[in-house]
Every structure is written in C-alpha cells, then in structure tokens.
Structure 1
Amino acid sequence: MTRILAVSLAACIAATGTSALAESRVPSHCIAIAGAAPGMIWQAKWGDPLPAGTVRLSYVGHSTFLIETPGGLSVATDYTGRLGPGDVVPDVVTMNHAHSSHWTSEPDERIPHVLQGWDYTGEPADHHLDLGEMLVRNVPTDIRGFDGTVEPAGNSIFVFEAAGLCIGHLGHLHHEPTPEQYAALGRLDVVMAPVDGGMTLDLPTMIKVLKRLRSSIVLPMHWFGPENLARFLSGMEEDFVIEIRRESAVEVTLATLPSRPTVIAVAPRPLE
C-alpha cells in the first residue's frame, strides 16, 4: 500500500455563469439510506460541461475542493483567496477560521456568496442557502484554541445537496460530532475529511467518525504528505475499499455510488 501510494503521489502531485440559479434541485436523501450500485465516473478536468445528475469534485489542495454541478454552479470549500492560476470565480465559497489556510479576510468581491463557518459575535453560524440546483447548509462544531481553550462553534461542517447527492466537508474538525450533530448531518454520500492526525482530529477518532458516517465515498484532505495519508489509508482498509488515483477530480452520480464504502485519494492540483 505505502509503495503504491508513494509512486502514485509522486506522479500526481506536481467563470461559471448564474443560469444554474434557475435550475431545480433533485432532492437528496440526507436523512435516508439509499441503495447504492457499483461503478463510478471519473473525469480530471474542471470546467467541462457535466451530464445531468453528475457532480464533479476537484481537489485544489489542503482543504479546498471545487464542487461543480451540471447547471454550472460552483462552490469552493475552505477558500483561501486563490484557487490557482486560472481566473475562477465560484458562485459560493465556504471558510473556516482555524488559521489562514482555511479562510481569507479579503475574498474576491465578484463572489456572490461568501459563507463563514463561524460568527464573530460568538453565536453559531447559521447558513441555509438555496440556489435552486444546490442547497448549502452548515452544522457548527467547536475548535481548539492555540492556548488549549475551546472556541464554541468556531468551525462548520458544510453540507451541499445537489443532483440527489448529499456531500459533506468536515472543515477543521476538532472533535467527534455529538449525536445531535450527526443527526443534523444526515446521510452523507460523499465526505471530505481532514486526515492529518493531529492538527484536526487524531486518526483513531477520525476513523471512528468516518465509520459512523459510512459514506459511500471518502475524499481525504489536509494530509500534508504521503506518510500521513498512508497511515490514514492503513487504518481504513479493513472496512473501506481503497482507491488511489492520479486524477485531481472525481465525478459522482447517485446511481453510480460504489456498492462498498470507498476511500478515494486524489492528487491536489491548482485550477489552471
């Protein structure tokens, strides 16, 4: 596993319109367990048109993914102000303020919707953004301060419902969700999970969370290097299928979710 991972990563790591606002959203099944069928669609280039019912997730780097819908909506997660050399202006960006690699104080003014995962007032952030084709909502969680204190509701798990899929981004998760938070998340078909093993959750707890969620697809992020990623994959391989891909993006449909829970490690790549 480690040798394959190292080879794969060594080889790999090196403006959307607003017409989609009028699109209707296929309801997701966040609160229901859906039957899954084997198979998956792969495509490594962001910006290309998508077939109906398909969502593309491109791993930009660290905790940033670009999520795209068939109608042309795009969302950048844990947005830091730059997605790569391309002039990409997402419809929505989400941010968490654990530190500067998860947010920016100066987002591009052309972005219509900038969603902070925390509230400067100290109250939990509360987002429920319905864009027609996509619904964006959040579940607040606590974060640890650098001095060992706890900041209530300093992080948000953002959930994106589109094309019948329920997609979650755990952000800078510092504790296992409470029963109430698990319930608010619902059934996540795809989850983007930080797997560094220390700055966020320790690996045993993160693996416990992912086994509890039992999403059809887990996309590792925030792993810093091949060794950290290999440790995470080793801890997951007993219960999850492991796929290591050269591509930076994956395309998913509700009908082609894998029949067994699968971890898919894709290579980070800035958008060009």
Structure 2
Amino acid sequence: MPRFRLLLALLALLALSPLAEAQSPPDGAGSGRSQPSTCHAVAEALPTATFVALKREARPRLAAGERRDEVRITFIQHATYLIESPDGVTIATDYTGNAGGIVPRVATMNKAHSTHYTNHPDPGIEHVLRGWNPEGGPARHYLTVGDVLVRNVPSDIRLWGGGMEKDGNSIFVFETAGLCIGHLGHLHEKLTDAQFAEIGRLDIVMVPVDGSWTMSQEGMAAMVARLQSRLVLPMHNFRGRMDRFLAQLPDFAVERRASPSLAVSLRSLPKRPTVVLLEGI
C-alpha cells in the first residue's frame, strides 16, 4: 500500500508539467515557463481528497547559504496582505491601490465589492491578476514571477439581486520557498471536493472571518479545519466578530502579534495549527 501511494504521488507530479503549460496566461505573463505546482493534493480516494501534509522532518531544506528561505507577510488593510518572497518578489492580495506605500510586482483582485479591487491599478505593477474574467468564463492564472508560482482556483459569488455568479471569485495560491500560501478572497460558498483538490496543501491561509458578507463563520471554520493549515491569517474582519470566529476553532492555538508583519519559513511553521492576529486586523 505505501508503494501504491508513492506511485500515485509520482503520477500526480508528472501530470502537472503539461498542466502548467496549458494554464499559462495567453498574454505571456510571468518570467519564462511556469514551474509545476508542489502544493496540489494527491487523491487517495475519490471524491474526498487527502492532502500531502509534510512532516517537519520531511520538509525540504535549502542548502546552507544558498538563499534566504523566509517569506514576509504584512497585513495592510481589510483583505490586503503584502507577501514578500525570499528573492524580493512582492504581491498584494485583493489590491485596491494601497500596498503599504510600495508598487508590488503582482496584484491580485476580486470583485465582490470595491474594497477588493481597483479599476486603476498602478501602471508600474507588472502583473495585475483579476480573480474573474471580464470576457466571461473562469479566470485562469498560472505563472512564475521570480521565485514565486502564482495560480488561482475559481469559485462562485452571490449577486446583489439574488442568485449566484459562476466563477466570480478566485482563491489565489502562491508557492515560494517550499511554502504553499493561499488567499480565499471574498469566498461565498463552501468549497467542493474538486476545489479542495485543485487548491492542494496550504501551509498558510488568509481567510475572511466576517461571517456575513462572505459566508458563515461556522462554514468558514469548517473549511479552515479541513485545510489543516499551520498558520491561519484572518482578514475581512468587523468589530466584535473575531472572538466568535476563534470560538469555532477550539483546537487551534491563537497568537496576537504587536506587529503587522511576520516572517515564516518551512522550518518555523508551528506544529499545532495556529491563528495569528497581526497588528491592525
């Protein structure tokens, strides 16, 4: 049985190489050929996906002196986090024009509300990635920028007049320094097994916790628990709602930081799943 599971994993990795080429954006965004994802799930049995949760001692280590392996994450506002890769690639999530005083190389956006996108992104941004497709159908992003692989998983959003808009939101996944970092965007519905499998392993997840504009806190907490991320970074918070969200995750540790930033690497991930409340959230 262990050999069979290893074979499945190898087949999944081999299958990702053509996937990367097929999903490359048509405008040639990125820096060369997209690298294959290392964060996808390996399905042990369908339709339920089993995630590749790396044990601390089994996680890949960078050679001493090869390069820095820490990722810096800073809370900017609402649903905007600034991610800085070891090689200095900067990414602003749900970008509205404010990335903490810098022009990021990559800006991701979602369109549920004007607090998650801008129609006038800074022209200095190399890659503006919308979580929806203005021409219709799902948005598809799969590109390499420096030492970061960026990809998305579409999801549906509610319409103001009722009903749902298919593929109106995206979960963005950023892979760098061996870490799998996810931003759930303005998530309105529970993810399907297929979406969980497409997302894959998330070591760090940024999750909306409002419980109303997105989805219920109970439903959001259930998805966080299933993802088994080592670090949970709340966003989209409103006064009085954080404690209610935390109460939905009794098995998670909680850390409150006096800084809006944290530095994290594979080797520094906590053993116990932990919700980190950065300054300003």
TM-score, with normalisation over the residues of structure 2? 0.78
Q: Who is 2:280 aligned against?
A: 268
**Matching of residue 247 in structure 1 with residue 247 in structure 2:** no
Q: In 2 relative to 1, CA 26–126 (structure 1 residues): closer, same or farther, beyond 3 Å?
A: closer
**In the alignment, is the contact (CA less than 8 A) between 1:27 and 1:162 conserved in 2?**
no
CA distance in 2, matches of 1:250, 1:25: 26
Gaps of 5+ in 1: 1-20, 38-50
Of 124, 128, 146, which aligns to 2:142?
128
Q: How many Å apart are 1:28 and its aligned residue?
A: 4.1
Tell me the amino acid that sits aligned with residue 173 of structure 2.
V
Q: How many Å apart are 1:129 and its aligned residue?
A: 1.2
SS at match of 1:218: strand
Q: Who is 2:25 aligned against?
A: none
Q: Who is 2:111 aligned against?
A: 97
Tell me the amino acid that sits aligned with residue 235 of structure 1.
Q
Q: Who is 1:177 aligned against?
A: 191
CA distance in 1, matches of 2:197, 2:187: 16
**In the alignment, is the contact (CA less than 8 A) between 2:39 and 2:199 conserved in 1?**
no
**Matching of residue 140 in structure 1 with residue 160 in structure 2:** no
Tell me the amino acid that sits aligned with residue 205 of structure 1.
G
Q: Who is 1:208 aligned against?
A: 222
Q: How does 1:1-272 map to 2 (within 5 A)?
A: 28-31=38-41, 32-36=52-56, 52-84=68-100, 86=101, 88-225=102-239, 227-236=240-249, 238-268=250-280
**In the alignment, is the contact (CA less than 8 A) between 1:25 and 1:133 conserved in 2?**
no
Tell me the amino acid that sits aligned with residue 262 of structure 1.
T
Tell me the amino acid that sits aligned with residue 164 of structure 2.
V
CA distance in 1, matches of 2:36, 2:135: 35
TM-score, with normalisation over the residues of structure 1? 0.81
CA distance in 1, matches of 2:196, 2:36: 23
Q: How many Å apart are 1:253 and its aligned residue?
A: 0.3
CA distance in 1, matches of 2:104, 2:76: 13
SS at match of 2:169: strand
CA offset digits 1:97-146 (Å, max 9, x no partner): 00100000000011010000001122000000112400000000000011
Tell me the amino acid that sits aligned with residue 143 of structure 2.
L
Q: How many Å apart are 1:163 and its aligned residue?
A: 0.3
Larger Rg: 2
SS at match of 1:136: strand
CA distance in 1, matches of 2:258, 2:177: 25
CA distance in 2, matches of 1:155, 1:114: 15
Q: In 2 relative to 1, CA 26–145 (structure 1 residues): closer, same or farther, beyond 3 Å?
A: closer
**In the alignment, is the contact (CA less than 8 A) between 2:35 and 2:144 conserved in 1?**
no
Tell me the amino acid that sits aligned with residue 73 of structure 2.
L
What percent identity do the matched residue pairs reach? 49
CA distance in 2, matches of 1:127, 1:26: 13
Deviant stretches of 4+, over 6 Å: 24-27
**In the alignment, is the contact (CA less than 8 A) between 1:240 and 1:262 conserved in 2?**
yes
CA distance in 2, matches of 1:175, 1:219: 19
**In the alignment, is the contact (CA less than 8 A) between 1:159 and 1:168 conserved in 2?**
yes
Higher RCO (CA-CA < 8 Å; seq separation 6+): 1
**In the alignment, is the contact (CA less than 8 A) between 1:36 and 1:256 conserved in 2?**
no
